[in-house]
Amino acid sequence: MLTRIDHIGIACHDLEATVDFYRRTYGFTDVHIEVNEEQGVREAMLRINSTGDGAASYLQLLQPIRDDSPVAKWLAKNGEGVHHIAFGTDGDVADEAAGIAGKGVRVLYEEPRRGSMGSRINFLHPKDCHGVLTELVQKADERPEG
Ligand code: CMX
Ligand code: CO
């Protein structure tokens, strides 16, 4: 089952400047930065809230590290802005993806891949989702707090 908005992915040209904007403007100070080579991004996860059970939501700021990465391609075409939404699953993301594929929506990867903070992720094609690139996220058992 999809149980929450895990994160909103936002494409940007300058990760530090964009993190700084969110920190100064909204006071989002819980920031986790990592590189995901496979996805071609350097990214920052900004924790927005937590219900206390670990089901926090995040902003994911994405700066491309390669010109041929999906985020670089998207930025060149659209400029900075909202790139995708991500729903969190309460079970196995592979099962969730298979169920959605059975409803005729294209799932981009045959097997889940590594996402932020040890999560397992997959994507649904935006053309099958009314124009929204949609990510499915199964969080790691233990997500870092900061
Ligand atoms: N949101 C909505 N529509 C999008 C989109 C997005 N983020 N990215 C592409 N599209 C649309 C394009 O506008 C285009 O539409 P038109 O044909 O009407 O012009 C169409 O999809 C094809 O776009 P494209 O620019 O030719 O791009 P590709 O087909 O090469 O790639 C996609 C699109 C979704 C397959 C690719 O972006 C992808 O594999 N995404 C998943 C991985 C990813 O985004 N990783 C970064 C985030 C990592 C993370 O969250 O951890
Ligand atoms: Co994402």
The helix or strand, by DSSP H or E, that contains position 128, with its residue range, turns out to be none
Task: Classify 14 as helix, strand or coil.
Answer: coil
State the residue range of the domain holding 100.
Answer: 2-138
Domain contains 10: yes
| pLDDT at residue 145 tops 50 | no
- Specify the length of the chain in residues: 146
Closest approach atom of ligand 1 to CA 9: 50
Provide the CATH number for the domain around residue 64.
Answer: 3.10.180.10
Domain contains 94: yes
Query: Catalytic one among 39, 63, 83, 84?
Result: 84
Domain contains 143: no
Amino acid at residue number 99: G
Domain contains 42: yes
Distance CA 66, CA 75 (A): 12
Query: Catalytic one among 63, 96, 135, 138?
Result: 135
Task: Classify 113 as helix, strand or coil.
Answer: strand
Residues with C-beta atoms within 5 A of ion ligand 2: 9, 60, 86, 135
User: What is the arithmetic mean of pLDDT over 84-97?
Assistant: 97
**Looking at the 3D structure of the chain, how many domains does it have?**
1
Domain contains 75: yes
User: Which letter does DSSP use for residue 12 in this model?
Assistant: -
Domain contains 145: no
Domain contains 100: yes
Kindly state the percentage of the chain with pLDDT values over 70: 93
**Whether the Cβ atoms of residue 128 and residue 104 lie closer than 8 Å to each other:** yes
Domain contains 144: no
pLDDT tens column, 28-59: 998 999 999 999 999 999 999 766 655 789 99
Q: pLDDT band for position 87 (50/70/90)?
A: very high
For this structure, is 84 an active site residue? yes
